[in-house]
Structure 1
């Protein structure tokens, strides 16, 4: 259903727009890791050991833990981020648990072993369920967002029928996330993918959906475009996949020139992760289809 739905490189912190330095694209941001952990083993801070628990259930050095973990994740230092957050797996802190689920999910996506990928995705899903169960009264944006993302991944593992069955719940949690924090571009993007998937649903999938629901999920390309453009409005150029999807929607609407411009913009964006590489290739293929010369985009 969600063809490229939740393969987000930085389904990250609320309003943070990651600016990837050139060295990060080449080295994975090694110098950031050095800055956090230093060169000497005995100088590395043990955030878990010094954490303690405050009266609201958060570790006493919560802000430091989150800041370090988010910086590492945003610079795609996945293993380093995991090493920080894994220590808090037994906690009931929703904010730390959804971040742990996020990084475990990313480790799964990076795995070349299908069985290990499945195991890590299911592990991440269990963690985010715990994050949601411990959600504070004022809500937890990240827990709802990542529950939706991982619920869809679980549906993918279980098969197309299961994925469709879970689709309304996926949308519900994404909308709940936006009701808590409305200025997160990636949540708008994911909702755009949700709507695109149902606007672009093939006949066979539509028949499965009709067999499951009396009124199966449906959407339009105009509605889909609203979500992608809203994401761009919040954070212009934040994600090559979002711009690529805008091109695909314009293509479906018959707006050829707008589609070409979106594919050009998507193609020109930096390639940092495997997701970026996939979109870079797809955008290039679209441009060649429309007869755009390399000299016009390079």
Structure 2
């Protein structure tokens, strides 16, 4: 169990592929900047892409696409820091941009998705009560994202992690959740978590993070066959970043362990 939670920064999705924001905002003169930022993001140059998205926001503070993606990138980049001050700075900006995007279009999948990411990021850096509160808050945004786009892979991934966390709360967390939120934790199971992440894989079959997380859930469920099959598939995926290479290395180690048991 400890291994699984260590590998799961709760709720937060670090390696989701870049999403496509549907709504448009800001002046048409920013189109070239947005195209440049998208190219950088597609090339996994997150920091460079973030600079360009924020440049767009300096000129058009209500540009919905830039707000969504800047929030997404701040959440993603925040997890790469061990320094808490820098992590907090990115998390705060992620929430700021998410709030602004949500204010513009509260029914769109992307605004709800980045709200879920940013709320989850803040929860990780908060106390026990605030962390539990953030977990419950994330669920409402994930549900809204999937209501707007049932094929949103990133939202399905977050939902899977949410189900896993709620299914595996410790005794104190369960008691606090029941007291604060009416016992919502009782409705989630590890199978719910696995089913949700399987959906994420259907809609984005080349994201190794999804396979790694799913394998960890199957491992927790003692489903060795499904765990091995998931890891085997993960090792066939193309790898483009250092993070993906590290996940592939972990998959190889876990697969070898499962085959030896």
1:67 aligns with 2:73: no
Which residue of structure 1 lines up, in the alignment, with residue 73 of structure 2? 103
Residue 146 of structure 1: how far off its partner (Å): 0.5
Match of 1:129 among 99, 106, 119: 99
Which residue of structure 2 lines up, in the alignment, with residue 116 of structure 1? 86
The CA deviation string for residues 263-297 of structure 1, in whole angstroms up to 9 with x for no partner, is 2333454444454345334323322322459xxxx
Give the whole-Å Cα distance in 1 for the aligned partners of 2:246 and 2:128: 23
TM-aligned CA distance change 1:204 to 1:288, over 3 Å: farther
Where does 1:152-231 land on structure 2 (aligned, <5 Å)? 152-218=120-186, 219-231=188-200
SS for the counterpart of 2:14 is: coil
Residue 150 of structure 1: how far off its partner (Å): 0.5
> Are the aligned partners of 1:209 and 1:216 in contact in 2 as well (CA < 8 Å)?
yes
Give the whole-Å Cα distance in 2 for the aligned partners of 1:194 and 1:66: 32
SS for the counterpart of 2:15 is: coil
Bigger radius of gyration among the two: 1
Which residue of structure 1 lines up, in the alignment, with residue 14 of structure 2? 8
TM-aligned CA distance change 1:214 to 1:184, over 3 Å: closer
Residue 7 of structure 1: how far off its partner (Å): 3.4
Residue 117 of structure 1: how far off its partner (Å): 1.5
Residue 176 of structure 1: how far off its partner (Å): 0.9
The CA deviation string for residues 208-227 of structure 1, in whole angstroms up to 9 with x for no partner, is 32342222334012222221
TM-aligned CA distance change 1:57 to 1:283, over 3 Å: closer
> Are the aligned partners of 2:17 and 2:207 in contact in 1 as well (CA < 8 Å)?
no
Give the whole-Å Cα distance in 1 for the aligned partners of 2:176 and 2:82: 31
Which residue of structure 2 lines up, in the alignment, with residue 58 of structure 1? 26
- Greater helix percent: which structure? 2
SS for the counterpart of 1:99 is: helix
Task: Provide the TM-score with structure 1 as the length reference.
Answer: 0.74
Give the whole-Å Cα distance in 2 for the aligned partners of 1:132 and 1:92: 11
The CA deviation string for residues 112-135 of structure 1, in whole angstroms up to 9 with x for no partner, is 532111111112211211111122
Give the whole-Å Cα distance in 2 for the aligned partners of 1:246 and 1:101: 26
Q: Is there any run of 5+ residues in structure 1 with no aligned partner, and where?
A: 16-55, 294-298
> Are the aligned partners of 1:145 and 1:174 in contact in 2 as well (CA < 8 Å)?
yes
